[in-house]
């Protein structure tokens, strides 16, 4: 009789790797220690040959515990479970989302390379590419959601004889919820690849998380996440993740060993805790967001709304993309209120249940003003081009009662003189 293959959410609670480390514990303890002993000098010699040779630390099903900058039980447990949700081969967790993104870039790129990037994009990632990587000798070429595969290839060939070294996209885009066709960009990368040089595609999947979208199934090679958001999901930690093909993740981990920016034991333990409820939390958040989007769509106080779950607000191209690659509508809503920045500020200031904060993906709902907050470092011309106006609000929907959230929005619109 064939062994039953359990669903990913059922495998977030047991100790999958090295269960003997945990004795009979149902919930794993925090391994709050910095160093572990060698059994012999010969063992220590072999370990450091692997570390400084840039190779993985694992050997078969056993992982040698040496020093917590390299590995420790909570991190090993986390990195073995997460790929089950993401359909990846391996994963690497970091102390922040930007640590994950920046380490990935530095591990896979070198001076003289060219990145293909989508826009709009999270302000931190956009700044890192345009400022730090530019100074490091890595250039970029942008495209927007309207561009076709043919147009993108033409732009690349006009720009560079050697092509691109890496494709980097964010979908849905932050904060506008524009959709990028992952499979289409994957085809662009494959068209520019050769036997000697494979061009990887990296997707920032923070907005939908591994429950709402699985980029690796659509042709991506790596997914990156701000794990502070849905993966952590409780607003009590900051972390980042890279997940995907083992060979690429190994390169990222090799640089992580040198930079020392991995998630520490307490964070890894908390993330393991959060994985157990990730599916349940996101399903509730999606459901709440659909109810709120329906209310905002009907409100005369709202100038425009962008939410993947509102098919009537999607273009024909976006509908095709949504049906092909999205497994859920998400819990992020972008909308414009009537009246510009002044009314937007009044609306934000009059919210009671929904918090005024720039993060997202937590159990609590929050709203923010991208024009002056999360995307204020993006040039004004780019903000306008991307559809980020002074009246634009980004709402992250939590797990509260949906009727209460709608009532809070309705009350604030009325108090602000918008409704």
Q: Which domain holds residue 343?
A: 278-415
User: CA-to-CA distance for 126 and 385, rounded, in angstroms?
Assistant: 15
235 shares a domain with 318: no
| 111 is a domain residue | yes
- The C-alpha angle 183, 129, 75, rounded to 5 degrees, equals 75
- Give the alpha-carbon dihedral of 353, 206, 345, 299, to 10 degrees: -70
Q: How far apart are alpha carbons 22 and 297 in whole angstroms?
A: 51
Query: Using a CB cutoff of 8 Å and minimum separation of 24, what contacts does 352-360 make?
Result: 352/408, 352/411, 352/412, 353/400, 353/404, 353/405, 353/408, 354/395, 354/405, 354/408, 354/409, 354/412, 359/228, 359/229, 359/235, 359/396, 360/206, 360/207, 360/229, 360/332, 360/394, 360/396
**Residue 39 pLDDT:** 84
Q: For residue 274, what pLDDT is reported? A: 97
pLDDT of residue 215: 98
In angstroms, how far is CA 34 from the centroid of its own chain? 29
Q: Which residues, other chains included, contact 24 with Cβ-Cβ below 8 Å and sequence gap of 6+?
A: none
Does 12 map to a domain? no
Q: Are residues 335 and 355 in the same domain?
A: yes
DSSP one-letter code for 131 = I
Contacts of 374 (CB under 8 A, 6+ apart): 122, 123, 174, 175, 358, 368, 394
Q: Do 147 and 171 form a contact (C-beta atoms < 8 A)? A: no
* Phi and psi angles of residue 70, each rounded to the nearest 5 degrees, phi first: -95, -50
Q: Which residues contact 407 (CB under 8 A, 6 or more apart)?
A: none
Q: Is residue 238, in this structure, part of any structural domain at all?
A: yes
In DSSP notation, 105-130 reads HHHH--TT-EEEEESS--HHHHHIII
Residue 202 is predicted with a pLDDT of 98
Q: How many domains are there within the chain?
A: 2
Out of 250, 275, 300, a domain closes at 275
The pTM of the whole model exceeds 0.85: yes
Q: Are residues 102 and 185 in the same domain?
A: yes
Give per-10-residue mean pLDDT for the chain (419 aa): 81 85 86 88 81 54 73 94 97 98 98 97 93 96 96 96 96 95 98 94 98 98 98 97 97 94 97 97 98 96 95 93 97 96 96 95 96 90 91 97 97 92
14 lies in some domain: no
CATH value at residue 62 = 3.40.640.10
Residue 10 lies in a domain: no
Cis amide linkage into residue 139, ω under 30° from 0: no
Q: Where are the beta strands (DSSP E) in 29-155?
A: 58-59, 62-63, 90-94, 114-118, 139-143
- Residues 302, 224 within the same domain: no
**For 9, how many CA atoms within 13 A lie in the half-sphere containing its CB?**
10
315 occurs within a structural domain: yes
Could you tell me if residue 18 is inside a domain?
no
| Alpha carbon distances (Å) from 229 to 91, 207, 271, 346, 411 | 17, 8, 11, 26, 27
Residues 353 and 256 in one domain: no
From residue 156, give the alpha-carbon distance in Å to each of 117, 174, 184, 391: 11, 24, 15, 35
Same domain, 314 and 330: yes
Q: Which helix (H) or strand (E) holds 292?
A: helix 278-298
Which CATH number goes with the domain that contains 289?
A: 3.90.1150.10
DSSP 8-state secondary structure symbol assigned to residue 216: G
Q: Indicate if 208 and 339 belong to the same structural domain.
A: no
For residue 126, give both structure tokens.
Answer: 């956009």
Both tokens of 170, joined, read 């964010």
Query: Do 354 and 237 share a structural domain?
Result: no
Six-digit token string for 266: 């307490």
What does the pLDDT read at residue 51? 66
Residue 135 counted as domain residue: yes
End-to-end CA distance of the chain: 63
- Residue 38, Cα to own-chain centre: how many angstroms? 37
Of the residues 275, 292, 316, which one is the last residue of a structural domain?
275
3-state SS, residue 93 = strand
Q: Are residues 70 and 174 in the same domain?
A: yes
Same domain, 256 and 285: no
Same domain, 156 and 269: yes
Q: Last residue of some domain: 228, 253, 275?
A: 275
Q: Are residues 320 and 332 in the same domain?
A: yes
Residue the block writes with tokens 């004795």: 23
């Amino acid at each position: 009789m064939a062994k039953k293959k359990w669903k990913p959410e059922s495998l977030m609670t047991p100790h999958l790797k090295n269960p003997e480390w945990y004795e009979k514990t149902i919930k794993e303890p925090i391994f709050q220690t910095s160093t572990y002993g060698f059994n012999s000098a010969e063992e220590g010699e072999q370990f450091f040959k692997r570390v400084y040779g840039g190779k993985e630390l694992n050997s078969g099903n056993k992982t040698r515990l040496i020093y917590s900058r390299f590995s420790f039980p909570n991190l090993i447990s986390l990195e073995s479970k997460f790929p089950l949700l993401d359909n990846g081969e391996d994963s690497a967790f970091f102390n922040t989302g930007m640590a994950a993104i920046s380490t990935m870039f530095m591990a896979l790129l070198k001076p003289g390379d060219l990145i293909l990037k989508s826009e709009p994009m999270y302000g931190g990632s956009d700044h890192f590419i345009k400022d730090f990587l530019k100074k490091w000798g890595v250039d970029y070429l942008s495209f927007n959601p309207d561009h076709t595969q043919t147009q993108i290839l033409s732009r690349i060939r006009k720009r560079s004889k050697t092509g691109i070294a890496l494709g980097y996209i964010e979908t849905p885009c932050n904060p506008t919820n524009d959709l990028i066709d992952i499979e289409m960009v994957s085809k662009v990368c494959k068209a520019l690849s050769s036997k000697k040089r494979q061009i990887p595609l990296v997707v920032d999947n923070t907005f939908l998380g591994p429950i709402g979208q699985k980029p690796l199934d659509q042709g991506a090679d790596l997914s990156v996440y701000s794990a502070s958001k849905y993966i952590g999901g409780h607003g009590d930690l900051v972390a980042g993740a890279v997940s995907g093909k083992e060979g690429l993740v190994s390169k990222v981990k090799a640089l992580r060993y040198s930079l020392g920016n991995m998630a520490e034991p307490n964070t890894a333990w908390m993330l393991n805790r959060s994985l157990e409820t990730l599916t349940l939390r996101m399903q509730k958040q999606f459901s709440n967001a659909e109810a709120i989007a329906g209310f905002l769509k009907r409100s005369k106080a709202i100038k425009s709304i962008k939410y993947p779950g509102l098919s009537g607000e999607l273009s024909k191209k976006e509908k095709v993309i949504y049906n092909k690659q999205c497994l859920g509508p998400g819990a992020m809503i972008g909308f414009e209120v009537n009246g510009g920045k002044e009314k937007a500020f009044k609306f934000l200031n009059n919210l009671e249940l929904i918090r005024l904060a720039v993060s997202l993906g937590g159990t609590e709902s929050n709203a923010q003003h991208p024009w002056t907050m999360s995307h204020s470092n993006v040039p004004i011309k780019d903000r306008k081009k991307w559809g980020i106006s002074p009246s634009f609000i980004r709402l992250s929907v939590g797990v509260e009662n949906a009727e209460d959230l709608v009532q809070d929005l309705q009350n604030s619109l009325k108090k602000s003189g918008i409704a």
